[in-house]
Amino acid sequence: MDLLQSVQEYTKSIPADFKEKKGSCDLSFTVAERKTFISKQKLTYQAKFRIDDQEKMVHFAEMLKEASSGMDAGMGFKTESYSTGKGGQQNSVIEQQSQQFGKKYEYQFDFKAVRGQIEKLAKEAGYGFQYQITFKGL
């Protein structure tokens, strides 16, 4: 079984959508969701990675993304979407996001497990693992 197949098998064990297009793989799932009568807010985990067979390297990036839509206290209809994670250090970006979003949402999500499992599968297949702080180049 090659590395891509191993990752696909792993993603079947978690509630994630997995897509592969032109060598770039996307993994996403809803971490938390808040619904009220007139608004909806959603927190999504996204991971992107590229498997470079020539260099035997997996390039990996992840982030938490928040999107909301609906009525906002009599202000009319409002839709907004923004993402965070465009800077920071390797191990602190998503941890900081998790702490920030944890004040707004209640969730039990171990993002380190996803990153760790993909890194483990890469190393078992003889590939290196490189964490990136942005999706640029993936």
Average pLDDT for the chain: 77
Higher pLDDT, 122 or 103: 122
Nearest to 92 by CA among 111, 118, 105, 108: 111
Query: Which range marks the domain in which residue 47 is found?
Result: 3-131
What is the pTM for the complete model shown?
0.71
Higher pLDDT, 9 or 15: 9
Helix, strand, or coil here: 79? strand
For residue 17, being part of any structural domain is answered with yes
For residue 56, being part of any structural domain is answered with yes
For residue 62, being part of any structural domain is answered with yes
Can you tell me the mean pLDDT for 61-79? 68
pLDDT value at position 92? 45
For residue 137, being part of any structural domain is answered with no
For residue 23, being part of any structural domain is answered with yes
pLDDT value at position 32? 78
Question: How does DSSP classify residue 94?
Answer: H
- Say which amino acid occupies 124: E
Confidence class for position 81, pLDDT limits 50, 70, 90: very low
Crossing angle of the two packed helices 111-124 and 3-12, in degrees rounded to 10:
150
CATH number for the domain harbouring residue 13: 3.30.310
How many domains does the chain contain in total?
A: 1
For 29-38, the CB contacts below 8 A with 24+ separation are 31/64, 31/101, 31/105, 31/107, 31/109, 32/101, 32/105, 32/106, 32/107, 32/109, 34/105, 36/70, 38/70, 38/71
For residue 138, being part of any structural domain is answered with no
